Structure 1
């Protein structure tokens, strides 16, 4: 018996050495892609058609400036902070027979006659002289879907709301890929645009950054139509992250309802330009809808600005109430908040510490 245990213990050590080497190799493969590789992944010929105004708004969103070395350093910082965090609310550990799952250590139990000796923790046996069996849970892979609003209203602000949305989406997608999840998604305005197919690994990081870099603004926001197309295209439930200014007073509610009805877990990230919270113009003004061109003239004074703020708060409150009723995580931010601070807040909202 002792000879058998000694042999199994040596096999266990060999297995642990192999696992350690495999982990180191995987870490080497998972080094952050450099900016030149990201630039190559975003060929100009694949750029979406954009209006002259939108092109001027997004001319600074090149791979070299949007996803530069400083940005990548911030991503690594976020990844290290998030190392103890998991999209636990979205994953829901459960046994599965589907392809595409990983085994994660869960607990110990006492060894019983007939148990597989491969799962005995021999390190514990050496220290405590007790035979304890490792228990693992099968964790289904998580599909993370990024839905990024590219309507014309996202071209407003400095930085633009779209630039901010790209950074937030890149960070959350990057962390999802580092967690070995599959990441994909699409942009939308009046309709769903060409999607980024689900994938994992280092190459998917390059594809994700290239996909986000090429996004430009155009068209109106029709979230309901876009989400309906999305649920028909991506039928497998997952974790949907919507990044939008939600300038769609008619369709946003139906869109969120459809996602939850299709068993998706949803995080809604509401991006607001600070000037939208506190208008500075006074007197005779003409307000033009940037998406449909409709124009209305007002005499803007303190009374009207107060009414505007009250209506805006009512709108925010309505979104928050619907999200709470549907168990949707909702986060609102302004573009003057550093994106990495906001992403850390988002991670803490949708994660739990292991």
Structure 2
């Protein structure tokens, strides 16, 4: 994957939108997010009476004229937001005529670009077989090319244990954690809940981005077929009928509803997309609908 996947028009749109965070960050270096800490940024917050040691240049002379006392202006200090990406690099993500892995990498790149463009910090980690592999933390627009190069080098050939992987990633309190996966595993949502508990404990805004191939959303099989688990190699022979496909779609819908309900329980958001969708429609459409972007 490279910059050629994002045309000039798409970058212009990305420059006009920003990640929506419902947190006022109180830690981190100076950046583009409002903090509970008081500092010297350009946004006015309050007045307080002058104390020895304060910067004399910050005295408000209009207030002095009215009250015959020295007051200084206090501004809202800005901190950088921290965006933690968790990318599922299991073998099941390498599936579909429009591969799920390509959409996952494009989404991570686009969202990283938005975060970096708004003076936030990006941490990208890949998940495989319960392990976690973290790239070097990135900040500033110049870091985007390095992120693209590192995303290009990811190989999707592992297995899935999202919870074990996520809990291995040390996180600073307060931030945004974006988990990108198909969320297809043999453990259901019970295992996922432990990961969400951990992220919520670390005061993360949680975003679950599910990517499914069009073949998984709308299967079109006839007669007998052998299904092979891409991660375990196990296979199952089935005779496919319209009723079975109908039941499958119903179960997938119910499963996704359970993930969405679980995400809401921990203050998070769940977004499900098809790998056949254009990245512009995913970022500017689906993320905007969920008020993740504004």
TM-score by length of 1: 0.68
Find out whether 1:277 has 2:217 as its counterpart.
yes
Query: Take 1:171 and 1:134, find their aligned partners in 2: how far apart are those partners?
Result: 38
Query: Take 1:192 and 1:261, find their aligned partners in 2: how far apart are those partners?
Result: 20
Q: SS of 1:212's equivalent?
A: helix
After superposition, give the CA deviation of every residue in 1:252-309 in whole Å (9 maximum; x if it has no partner). 2222222112222211111111111111112111111111111111111111111111
Over 3 Å counting, the alpha-carbon distance change for 1:74 and 1:319 in structure 2 is farther
Query: Take 1:104 and 1:271, find their aligned partners in 2: how far apart are those partners?
Result: 39
> Which of 275, 281, 292 is the aligned partner of 1:341?
281
Give matches, 1:306-325, under 5 Å: 306-325=246-265
Q: SS of 2:97's equivalent?
A: coil
Find the counterpart in structure 2 of residue 171 from structure 1. Answer: 110
Structure 2: 5+ residue runs without aligned partners? 32-39, 63-71
Query: Take 1:110 and 1:248, find their aligned partners in 2: how far apart are those partners?
Result: 55
Query: Take 1:72 and 1:274, find their aligned partners in 2: how far apart are those partners?
Result: 24
**Could you say which structure has the higher helix fraction?**
1
The answer (yes or no) to whether the contact 1:144–1:238 under 8 Å persists in 2 is yes
Find the counterpart in structure 2 of residue 209 from structure 1. Answer: 148
Find the counterpart in structure 2 of residue 81 from structure 1. Answer: 16
Over 3 Å counting, the alpha-carbon distance change for 1:352 and 1:150 in structure 2 is closer
Query: Take 2:61 and 2:259, find their aligned partners in 1: how far apart are those partners?
Result: 50
After superposition, give the CA deviation of every residue in 1:211-250 in whole Å (9 maximum; x if it has no partner). 111111112111011111113xx34442111111111242
The answer (yes or no) to whether the contact 1:151–1:189 under 8 Å persists in 2 is yes
Over 3 Å counting, the alpha-carbon distance change for 1:110 and 1:297 in structure 2 is closer
Q: SS of 1:313's equivalent?
A: helix
Over 3 Å counting, the alpha-carbon distance change for 1:341 and 1:258 in structure 2 is same
Find the counterpart in structure 1 of residue 200 from structure 2. Answer: 260
Find out whether 1:327 has 2:267 as its counterpart.
yes
Find the counterpart in structure 2 of residue 9 from structure 1. Answer: none
Find the counterpart in structure 2 of residue 247 from structure 1. Answer: 184
The answer (yes or no) to whether the contact 1:78–1:340 under 8 Å persists in 2 is no
Q: SS of 2:76's equivalent?
A: strand
Q: How many residues align?
A: 271
After superposition, give the CA deviation of every residue in 1:83-135 in whole Å (9 maximum; x if it has no partner). xx44332x425xx4x5513455444779999996547699xxxxxxxxxx875
If you compute each CA radius of gyration, which structure gives the higher value, 1 or 2? 1
Over 3 Å counting, the alpha-carbon distance change for 1:162 and 1:121 in structure 2 is farther
**Could you say which structure has the higher strand fraction?**
2
Find the counterpart in structure 2 of residue 100 from structure 1. Answer: 29
Structure 1: 5+ residue runs without aligned partners? 1-60, 123-132
